[in-house]
Structure 1
Amino acid sequence: MNDKHKQIRTVNVTRYVTPLREGGSLPAITEADDDFLYVLKFRGAGQGVKALIAELIGGEIARALGLKVPEIVFARLDESYGRTEPDEEIQDLLKASIGLNLANHYLSGSITFDPTTTVVEPGPASIIVWLDSLLTNVDRTARNTNMLMWYRELWLIDHGASLYFHHTWDNWKAFATRPFEQIKDHVLLPQASEIEQADITGKSILTASKLKSIISLIPDVWLSNEAQGTPEEQREVYYQFLNTRLAASEVFIKAALHARQAII
């Protein structure tokens, strides 16, 4: 693995602990050779490496914005891994996921964020709403908040449903300048009274060099679809998509403000 991956550690998965069946792609708690537990996202799952790319980019952008995200690591699965797994569905998933996967540090003892019992302040609520509008993340709703409380602090997880333009790829320029209508379902929208300030803050942090450094983390092996160009050409599309979206942020800001006005 070359130098551009040095910001993300690579671990070798040593033990499959338990599946997390609430996730549509059957993520699992696993142990690695550093003796830590991780929530592993498998490349052999339904959305394949696209979900891993979205998870990597979304999580690292969130971290750059100062939000709490569990450490992201590359997780290598060996060919011998999972041979003793009795569940046929899981064994098939493991076989399809040999090689480089993605994992998040497991926050042992964390609990799912409950909007009825925990109030998020306007500042962080607004930056999270802004982030999910930028990333077109459809998966931060009251039904599935994808946030955890750990030691009384709010942590963001699971950005795999972000950047859904890359499932069609050809139309990314049109996607980049669209409002994000699904923001109306965002669990933190009622608290997000500082979205315009979040836009100023977010754009000051997500400079061109910052975006490029995050996107450079995507491993070549996840960008092997030659029909979509070389790995460098594909990284350039991710960069151009996000850069274009930032430049046209008034479009998704307006949609968020309008959606919030309708519910408060």
Structure 2
Amino acid sequence: MIKRFFKFLFKIVLWLFILSIGFVFLYKWVPVPITPLMIIRHFEKSDVEKETFWKHDWVSIDAISKNLQLAVICSEDQNFLNHNGFDIKAIEKAYKNNKEGKKLKGASTISQQTAKNVFLWPERSWFRKGLEVYFTFLIESIWTKERIIEVYLNSIEMGHGIYGAEAASQYWFKKSADKLSPLEAAAIASVLPNPRVYKANPASNYIQVRKAWIIKQMDYFGPLEYVNKDGKTVKN
């Protein structure tokens, strides 16, 4: 009986492993239609709010302003192009700050956030964190950096019921994502720490300060260029 149970358990784990790799390969080319967070947020709404469905319009990376791509990298993960999914220095710094009793700081990279948003749920637990590490490793191994940022910018929450760059651009600035100016891109990137509370437009004093900081970081960063796994530079 016990032997049968472990055999059954092994088969389940094996199939989950195969399916996870299959989905990561699928999403290397296919747009992500829905994420667990979108579903969770929908069921958190009141009956009246549920009548207005979430806004999510997938667009290719070519239809997303380089300004927004650069703004979120400068805001969320400035080592994105150089690390393999995990920013070890940021993790060590966050651990040191937290140990000293300073304000809690996370060290999640864009790759980790993408793995969490697309494949997992927003729960704080070691089990979920372990799965996040696993999926981060997969997407960094199978996708390019350009694909990771494309999926990230099409999937993350950018306002109350607003998901992805195109929906956010239309909602906050009444224009398509490829037309965003540096200031508009910085405004959207500024709300990412808490998109259901902060507003990109009109911006509060806090968002104005964050916008200015992000713009300065964008100037320091310079031109944004992706390098594929074969070492070739990609310009979109």
TM-score normalised by the chain length of structure 1 = 0.28
Higher strand share: 1
If asked which structure has higher relative contact order (CA below 8 Å, sep 6+), I would say 2
TM-score normalised by the chain length of structure 2 = 0.30
